[in-house]
Structure 1
Amino acid sequence: MNLLIREINENDPIIISHAFKEQGWNKPVAQYERYITEQINGERVTLIAEIDGVFVGYVNVLWESYYPEFMEKSIPEINDFNVLVKYRGLGIGSKLMDKAEEIIKEKSLIAGIGVGLFSDYGIAQVLYVRRGYIPDRKGIHNGKNYIRYGESVVIDDDIVLYFTKKL
């Protein structure tokens, strides 16, 4: 397996969007075009994983997280981390995480990450714990607010538990 991890470039948005469409996920080209603009502006780093020149996954480092706790404490966030389903279990995610943490360590001694709570995120939940990430003690967040005891929520991609790791 010839794995290459590199930063996103202008040729990637259509390729990435198409690869996710093939597995039934809607990831619009505009999302990745925005990632390139934000990378140029120094707001994020988007890392692309390829095997023998074929796109297989990506991860982002957000220098200023959207999550209030990380924003307040200037904790960079590993964000929107995806490996195509047919390439999971090959260590690609771990290699992407290694590189993201290496980049964060240049500016911060702490990395943050969020993970969804339902079974689609099970592999990621285990990966983050195995890599030493621990919950930030703030509880569940829905993208706007922390969920309080007794509240009802619809479990979807916005219901997240956040973790940190000392690098």
Structure 2
Amino acid sequence: MKLSTITIRFMQENDPAKVSEAFLAQGWNKPAEQYVRYVEEQKLGRHVTLVAEAEGDFAGYVNIIWEPDYPLFKEQGIPEIQDFNVLIRYRRQGIGTLLMDRAEELIRQRSAQAGIRVGLFSDYGPAQAMYVKRGYIPDGRGIYQNGEYMKYGQQVVVDDDLILALVKTWA
């Protein structure tokens, strides 16, 4: 399917239900309350949620968190790209690239760096490859999970919370 019209815009108050329904249709439970919270946080200036529409239909979104809790990003004032999702049927059509381009453009207006965290198992493989191609490199602090950096010999559960943080610096 070749898309002719892709729009990137800020999340609006009428988006939460349709975003939640779109994910539910592909078998993912993402409650509307999550997106209502995103709209509220955006109003307060704490973050921005960008929404992608393909031919007028919801296709994906990404958040920019201006003051993240991840230790290195917090210490160095690095905004974080977070919760990046494109509906399965819209993947590999440039929508994720457009969302990332716009997110980086907004971050660049306020910071010389952008941060992102990514999961470590195969579900995150495409995202890992995309971030590396876009110039993100590991922050050098290692693997992080549930508020702590993992140590040699430590056993962990491999889940969505086991992550590697990456940073992109603009010259």
TM-score range normalised by the length of the shorter chain: over 0.9
**85, 90, 95: which is aligned to 2:93?**
90
- The aligned residue for residue 104 of structure 1 is 107
**Do 1:67 and 1:143's aligned partners in 2 also have CA atoms closer than 8 Å?**
no
How far is 1:139 from its partner?
A: 0.5
Of residues 10, 15, 18, the one that matches 1:15 is 18
| Structure 2 alignment gaps of length 5 or more | none
Per-residue Cα deviation, 1:53-93 (whole angstroms, up to 9, x for no partner): 10000000000112111011110000000000111100111
Provide the residue aligned with 1:123 in structure 2: 126
Indicate the percent of aligned positions where both proteins have the same amino acid: 56
For residue 9 of structure 2, what is the aligned residue in structure 1? 6
Which ranges of structure 1 fall in alignment gaps of 5 or more residues? none
Q: SS of the counterpart of 1:97?
A: helix
- Count of equivalent residues: 167
Counterpart residue number, 2:64: 61
8 Å Cα contact 1:47/1:58 also seen in 2:
yes
TM-score where L is the length of structure 1: 0.98
**Which aligned segments of 4 or more residues in structure 1 are displaced greater than 6 angstroms?**
none
Kindly state the Cα deviation for residue 148 of structure 1 after the two structures are TM-superposed. 0.8
Normalising to structure 2: TM-score of the pair?
A: 0.96
* Aligned equivalent of 1:113: 116
| Cα-Cα RMSD | 0.6
C-alpha distance in 1 between matches for 2:149 and 2:25: 35
